[in-house]
Structure 1
Amino acid sequence: MWRQTSRHLLSRFTIRGSSKPFSAAANLTEAEPETDSTFIQAWMKLVPNIEPPKTPLSFMKPRPASPSSIPSKLTVNFVLPYQSELASKEVDLVIIPATTGQMGVLPGHVATIAELKPGVMSVHEGNDIKKYFVSSGFAFIHANSFADIVAVEAVPLDRIDPAQVQKGLAEFTQKLNSASTDLEKAEAQIGVDVHSALNFALTG
C-alpha cells in the first residue's frame, strides 16, 4: 500500500515548465539476452512441454567481475517501473535516502541492499549535481562499483511545485486528524509523510 499510495501522490504534482510527463525513454538500453540455466533445467524436468518463462537475468546485462583495484567512477543504473532514467552512467558519487539514513555511495562501496524512503537522491558528476525526489524503492550496490537503484516513482527536484506540496500537506494533515478507520489513518499518514519529505527537500 505504501508504494502504490506514494506513487499516486507524486503523480498529482504540477511540474513547472513542462506539460509533458517526466520521461527519459531515450536512455533506455536493450539488454544482452541471458538465461538462468539452473532454473531452465529444473523447469524442463517438471514441465517439458511448456516453454520456460523469462527470469530477471533475461533482461539484465551481465555484470563485470570485481576489479583488482577500485575504479575512479561508480556506474549507476536508475530505473522506474515505466522507464530508465540513468543507464550505465559513470558518476563520482550517489547519495540515496535509505531507511537507515542518508547513504553516500562511492566507487568501491561494499556490496549492500538498502531500502529507500521518501527523500532526495543526488547524483554527483564533477561539479554537476542532479537531484531527484524518490518515493520509495531499493538500491542494490554491487562490489564491482555498480549500483542499481530502483524507485517506485521519482521526479527531478527542480520540477516540483512547492505550492502543490504545501496544499497536499495541509489536505493530508486534515484527513489524518479526521480519519475514523485504520485504513483511512494509514493512507493519510503516508500522504503526510511523503508531503513532509517533499517539503523538507524543497526548503531544507
Structure 2
Amino acid sequence: ILCVSPQGTPSTAAPKPSSLSHPARAERPHPSHAMFRRATGLLARRLISSSGSRAKPYSTDLPAAPTEDSTFVEAWKKVIPNIEPPKTPLSFMKPRPSTPPSIPSKLTVNFVLPYASELSTKEVDMVIIPATTGQMGVLPGHVATIAELKPGVLSVHEGNEVKKYFISSGFAFIHANSYADIIAIEAVPVDQIDPSLVQKGLAEFTQKLSSASTDLEKAEAQIGVEVHSALNSALTG
C-alpha cells in the first residue's frame, strides 16, 4: 500500500491484519456446511440398495408382510431369552394386503367411530368424502392420500344404492392398494336426522353468535352455526 509522507515522498506501509484476509479463517468451512454434507452422505447411504449400484425408489406400496414386531421380539429374546415376549397391538392386527398388479374393481372401505364400526372391509364402488379442501371422490386405484374431514356428508356408493352419513370431523386414509380407512369423531345416517331440530339448533346458535361478547362464546357459537348449516345442507341437498 502506497502512502504519502508529510514531505511528499511515497512510502510503503504494511496492511493491517484483517479477519477477511486471514488464510486460516478463510479456508475453514462453516459448521453447518459440514453437518449438511454429513447428513446428505448418511441419507445417500441409506438409499443405496444392497447391490450398491442404485438407490431404492420411494413407494406407497404396502407389502403383505406379517404385522408382528420382529425388532421388538428379537430385542426381547436377547435380554430375557427364557420368557416369551408380550403381545403388542401389532400382534392382533391382520397384515395389510399388498398393492395388486392391476386396479381392482372394488374399493375396500373401513369406516369406524370411537364407539362403533360402521363398515368393516366393505367392498364398494366409490365413496365421496367431505374433505376440508372440498368434496373428494375416491375410486379403486386412487393415489395414496390423507385427507382431513369437515362437517358434511359421506356418501358410500354400492351399485345403485347410495348410503349417506353425516360426519362431524375426522380423517380419511386412502391407501395405494385400494383400501380406504375413514375415521370420524361422530357420524349418523342422514335419514335419521330430524329437520326440525336442525332448524331449531341453527337459529339458536345464530342468535348466540350475534350476542356473544367473548372470544370463547364467539368460537363456540361459530362451530354450532357451521355444524348445523352443514346438517341443513345435507338434508336439503
Q: Deviation at 1:36?
A: 3.2
- Contact persistence 1:76–1:86 (CA under 8 A): yes
**C-alpha deviations, 1:93-115, integer Å up to 9, x for none?**
00000000000000000000000
* One of 106, 128, 135 as aligned partner of 1:95: 128
SS at match of 1:114: strand
* One of 158, 161, 176 as aligned partner of 2:194: 161
Q: For the residues of structure 1 that align with 2:143 and 2:71, how far apart are their CA atoms?
A: 27
Identity %: 81
1:152/1:42 CA distance change after superposition, 3 Å: farther
Q: Which residue of 1 aligns with 2:209?
A: 176
Q: For the residues of structure 2 that align with 1:60 and 1:178, how far apart are their CA atoms?
A: 50
How well do the aligned residues superpose, as a CA RMSD in angstroms?
2.5
Amino acid in the other structure paired with 2:167: V
SS at match of 1:77: strand
Q: Deviation at 1:179?
A: 1.1
**C-alpha deviations, 1:123-175, integer Å up to 9, x for none?**
00000100000000000000000000000000000000000000000011111
Q: Which residue of 1 aligns with 2:170?
A: 137
- Contact persistence 1:78–1:85 (CA under 8 A): yes
Q: Which runs of 5+ in 1 are unaligned?
A: 1-32
Does 2:100 align with 1:67? yes
Amino acid in the other structure paired with 2:157: H
Amino acid in the other structure paired with 1:103: M
Q: For the residues of structure 2 that align with 1:144 and 1:132, how far apart are their CA atoms?
A: 24
Structure having the higher Rg: 2
Does 2:155 align with 1:122? yes
- Contact persistence 1:162–1:199 (CA under 8 A): yes
Q: For the residues of structure 1 that align with 2:171 and 2:228, how far apart are their CA atoms?
A: 20
1:116/1:43 CA distance change after superposition, 3 Å: farther
SS at match of 2:119: strand
Q: For the residues of structure 1 that align with 2:76 and 2:132, how far apart are their CA atoms?
A: 37
Q: Which residue of 2 aligns with 1:83?
A: 116
Q: Which runs of 5+ in 2 are unaligned?
A: 1-65, 80-84
Q: For the residues of structure 2 that align with 1:42 and 1:114, how far apart are their CA atoms?
A: 36
Q: For the residues of structure 1 that align with 2:158 and 2:87, how far apart are their CA atoms?
A: 39
Q: Deviation at 1:37?
A: 3.7
Q: Deviation at 1:54?
A: 4.0
TM-score normalised over the length of structure 1: 0.75
Does 2:230 align with 1:197? yes
- Contact persistence 1:123–1:129 (CA under 8 A): yes
- Contact persistence 1:136–1:152 (CA under 8 A): yes
- Contact persistence 1:44–1:52 (CA under 8 A): no
Q: Deviation at 1:53?
A: 8.3
Query: How many residue pairs align between the two structures?
Result: 170
1:52/1:193 CA distance change after superposition, 3 Å: farther
Q: Deviation at 1:44?
A: 9.2
